[in-house]
Structure 1
């Protein structure tokens, strides 16, 4: 095991169990040991993604103030 991976695991040991499980799932997925089923999107979700991609292609992004307002709304 590399020093970096060992350091990451040591830090993860101090996290809450749900965070540890999230990290474990990511590591397993990156290592190819856990094959998850693809997420099936609804038609509404596909439409929302298409709208977002179109807006991004036009260079339409939220302002910093809009992002901060959204974060504040959700307690982030």
Structure 2
């Protein structure tokens, strides 16, 4: 994918403030990831992890058949 980054930034300057803030946040995250080998999960990712762990704590888990089905779907 070839993107004219300079043109995109110029267009982004006309975006609403919330959209510009989101773009800046994403760019800072990318820059941070490029500068370090450590990975820091986002708040959304941490919420998903917490929900999954709570589900396991309640004894909820996939059956062997559900796991086989999931792996088969991912391999396609």
TM-score, structure 1 as length reference: 0.48
For the pair shown, the structure with the greater C-alpha radius of gyration is 2
TM-score, structure 2 as length reference: 0.48
